[in-house]
Structure 1
């Protein structure tokens, strides 16, 4: 990110504050709700992806550790749904590795379009206070398998995984369960970056990590608010986040293919 204009550095810093906020506030969105805007400021995905990956490992690990000590000795109040996590990882790990290796290449436009249309449908159901509770295990399995593959090729599996998790995990466990899942998946991706010699942008962490930390603290407070608020408020916030993902994704997909 050398030789950028001052406004670009300011914009990137603000977007990493936003990234930290949505990640700790919702449990997802640190990449998918931020990367499209970062690319509009400076189109260099291989610069941003390692930075976002390291931030996720740092802050998700910190949040999970804090939650563990806060609820130690009270397993009934745990914030991670381990049965769902094991189920998701067993389904996602093989397609994740395939995506990382690049063995299978699906048309990007087809995969992205499918993801964002499905997410938009989920989001609207949440905003209308009629959350979709999937009882179709075959469809959920398909979403998790495809989410694993998409996670291997990029860091934007959340649109596929979050609706499945939201249907099967209690809301007070949703964020931390997703954090553990992202931690494992992103660790694999980061290892692949290191193995292939990708620049992990360590020098940029000196100024972007504090930006993400500010957003992280604000997001923690927001997350506490959503847990205290009425269930309808929680699902509307979740729906707004998912709809933002789908709209940004569809607009970007349309502009890049026309």
Structure 2
């Protein structure tokens, strides 16, 4: 599937969503996929269309950071956390390629709904013990593997263990590693990477990326207000998505039983 398969209105919506993901990715330093994928599923409901495209963009933008900021990465904590994150992420990739689309979308919307409520209600994801850190890293890695939306869980741990001056650059390197593993699995299993679509959307995402860089300091100064607004939007989108999936499930059940 390419952009030509969509209507003009859908193409405009896709452009806005990818500009948004680029903005969030650099404005917050994480969350581009978590805040963009639920919107993309309203346009086309198969995650395997969007995730390779998001992956290409993540590799490109995190690669820029990798080139310029290797000196500002907390390599010690990155190596430590990778022991828990990477195996879980590989298991998540297996789930992405084998679970039904309806289940995958329900999982993505449910995770996003959780994030939305935590941000809307200002209930941060916190851990005070090593075992809790490990649990969040494993869960975040699994969610990242299945949908690339596990960032908020891993960030909660990284914020407590990595200097704020090194946090964003360290996270970008983590995203680069995780997405590289995911894309390698896609290639090995002959999943369509939709490279032409990804490259077509790259300039649009770049606009959001640049705007996010410019807005980063302002967002960090107003982090609570920004996240509450975003949280409210995520709750709304996720509830609508779950309702749509429930309606589709009921319709399919009734149809399969000859009730309609």
**TM-score for both structures, normalised by structure 2:** 0.78
Secondary structure of 1:140's match? Answer: helix
Structure 1 residues without counterparts, runs of 5 or longer = 73-77
Q: Who is 2:122 aligned against?
A: 125
**Does the alignment pair 1:197 with 2:190?**
yes
- For residues 1-258 of structure 1, what are the structure 2 equivalents within 5 Å? 1=2, 2-68=4-70, 78=72, 80-102=73-95, 113=110, 116-117=113-114, 120-121=117-118, 124-125=121-122, 134-226=127-219, 229=221, 233-238=222-227, 241=230, 244-245=233-234, 248-257=237-246
Secondary structure of 1:200's match? Answer: coil
Provide the C-alpha distance between the structure 1 equivalents of 2:178 and 2:18, rounded to a whole number of angstroms.
21
RMSD: 3.0
User: Do the aligned partners of 1:125 and 1:132 also contact (CA within 8 Å) in 2?
Assistant: no
Query: Taking structure 1 as reference, are residues 133 and 158 closer, same or farther at Cα in structure 2, changes over 3 Å only?
Result: closer
Deviations 1:33-68 (A, max 9, x none): 111111212223222111100100100110232234
Provide the C-alpha distance between the structure 2 equivalents of 1:255 and 1:194, rounded to a whole number of angstroms.
31
Secondary structure of 2:32's match? Answer: coil
The structure that is helix-richer by fraction is 2
Of residues 208-217 and 245-254 in structure 1, the stretch that sits farther from structure 2 once superposed is 245-254
Of residues 57-66 and 116-125 in structure 1, the stretch that sits farther from structure 2 once superposed is 116-125
**TM-score for both structures, normalised by structure 1:** 0.79
Deviation at 1:165, TM superposition (A): 2.1
Deviation at 1:98, TM superposition (A): 2.0
Query: Taking structure 1 as reference, are residues 31 and 94 closer, same or farther at Cα in structure 2, changes over 3 Å only?
Result: same
Deviation at 1:182, TM superposition (A): 1.0
Of residues 116-125 and 170-179 in structure 1, the stretch that sits farther from structure 2 once superposed is 116-125
Provide the C-alpha distance between the structure 1 equivalents of 2:111 and 2:198, rounded to a whole number of angstroms.
34
User: Do the aligned partners of 1:17 and 1:213 also contact (CA within 8 Å) in 2?
Assistant: yes
User: Do the aligned partners of 1:96 and 1:151 also contact (CA within 8 Å) in 2?
Assistant: yes
Provide the C-alpha distance between the structure 1 equivalents of 2:29 and 2:131, rounded to a whole number of angstroms.
25
Q: Report the number of matched residues.
A: 241
Deviation at 1:151, TM superposition (A): 1.8
Structure 2 residues without counterparts, runs of 5 or longer = 248-260
